[in-house]
Amino acid sequence: MDDAILSITGLSIHYPTSTGIVKAVDNVSFSLPRGKVVGLVGESGCGKSTLGLAILKLMRPPGEIVAGKILLDGENLIDKDEAQMRRIRGPKVSMVFQDPMTSLNPLIRLDRHFLETIDAHERNVGKDDAMARINKLVEHLGISSSRLREFPHELSGGMRQRIMIGLALILNPKLIIADEPTNSLDVIVEAHFLDLLKGLQKEYNLTILLITHNMGIVAQLADRVAVMYAGRIVEEAGVMDLFARPLHPYTKGLLSSIPNIEVDQMRLYTMPGSPPDLTDPPPGCPFHPRCPNKMSICDKKTPHDIITDGRHVECFLYGGKDA
């Protein structure tokens, strides 16, 4: 895309293990349009969180990037060393992690979390000026600034998640990676949280990579959707196009498994089989053992980035190249 803040090309991430190499991310390419929300969806274990962590080069050993490029405003993050990445994390790209209770330090008050973040990147900012900025931001997030003197365990789950968003925003980045941001919230708090996130995205013109398995959240927030399966992006489209007319059989299965109050059904649809073992994936298309539309070519060759009606899909149902 011409105005992409982040472009990922041919990214592959491997985890060497005693039982073989886990191909957690396999030749992934996609872009984040500036000022938009892109939802990255798929089953647990498909590589979503690994991809998000890779953008910030926060993968834990033995994970390693073995191929590809991650371009942030034209700069290849793959080439950056740890010192350079520390200057990028926070001011340019921030991450909202899944569980704020394990991401926040339980031994220090909330104000210290913010002050240490600012001090690490903006040493010329005095404490009074920093606290004024922090107070303004947390009040904007719907939390009284007096609560900053408290410890993480003294806040509710929803308030802790707001603090995590505040920490992500305090250095004014343009790209935020939100990894399952509503995972620990009940539906009422989740609804308020999503309204807040939507408002902040428009107010700050943020670009957000929303990593989730919740298709309802994607429908509410995202502009585009990338569907991930077995370490690969199998379909990418605008959110309205994808929900109205999914192309890939896996995407169709995901959408069919969502409860619909307008349909009288006794049981939800379930996809047969299980996600593949990424140390020994099936030959050809990784979805073919579970696919209701399997063809003779599917277990022999892998479809690659087939474009139909302006949309990207990896499926031989729509022709295209193979590898």
CATH number at residue 52: 3.40.50.300
Q: Residue 231's closest CA among 48, 65, 18?
A: 48
Q: What is the DSSP letter of 259?
A: -
CB environment 292-305: b (16+ within 10 A), e (fewer): eebeeebeeebbee
Q: Is residue 237 part of a domain?
A: yes
Cβ count within 10 A of residue 10: 11
* CA-angle at 68, arms to 65 and 72, nearest 5°: 100
> What are 18's two structure tokens?
């005693």
Note down the domain range covering 74. Answer: 4-92+173-322
In sequence order, the 6+-apart residues with CB closer than 8 A to the CB of 283 are 299, 300
CA–CA dist 162, 270 (Å, integer): 34
Q: Is residue 57 part of a domain?
A: yes
Q: Is residue 99 part of a domain?
A: no
CA distances from 112 to 130, 140, 142, 214 (A): 11, 19, 19, 33
Q: Is residue 84 part of a domain?
A: yes
Q: Is residue 80 part of a domain?
A: yes
* Under 8 Å between Cβ of 307 and 278: no
Q: Is residue 130 part of a domain?
A: no
Tell me if the pTM is above 0.95: no
CA–CA dist 286, 16 (Å, integer): 20
CA–CA dist 304, 96 (Å, integer): 31
Q: Is residue 273 part of a domain?
A: yes
In sequence order, the 6+-apart residues with CB closer than 8 A to the CB of 3 are 33, 34
> What is the structure's pLDDT at 265?
66
Q: Hey, what amino acid is at 214?
A: N
Number of separate domains in the chain: 1
Q: Is residue 150 part of a domain?
A: no
pLDDT tens digit at each of 323 positions of the chain: 558 999 999 999 999 999 899 999 999 999 999 999 999 999 888 999 999 999 999 988 899 999 999 999 999 999 999 999 999 999 999 999 887 888 899 999 999 999 999 999 998 999 999 999 999 999 988 899 999 999 999 998 888 988 999 999 999 999 999 998 887 777 887 888 888 888 889 888 999 999 998 888 899 899 999 999 999 999 999 999 999 999 999 999 999 887 776 666 667 778 888 899 999 989 999 999 999 999 999 999 999 888 877 789 999 998 755 54
